[in-house]
Amino acid sequence: MSDFKKGDRVVITNGDFEGQQATIVDKDLLGDGLTVALVDGGREIKTEEGHVKKGAEGRMDVEDGDRVIVTEGRLKGERGTVLSTNRLGKGIKVRLDDGKEIDTEEGHVAPVRD
CATH number where 44 lies = 2.30.30.30
Rounded-to-integer distance, Cα 51 and Cα 101, Å: 35
pLDDT of residue 59: 55
- Of the three residues 59, 77, 97, the one that is the final residue of a domain is 59
Query: Where does the pLDDT of residue 48 fall: very low under 50, low under 70, confident under 90, or very high at 90 and above?
Result: very high
pTM confidence score? 0.60
Residue type, 100: K
pLDDT by residue (tens digit) across 51-104?
998 876 655 567 889 888 887 788 888 899 999 887 666 788 999 999 999 998
Does residue 2 lie in a domain region?
A: no
Q: What domain range includes position 98?
A: 67-111
Domain count, the chain: 2
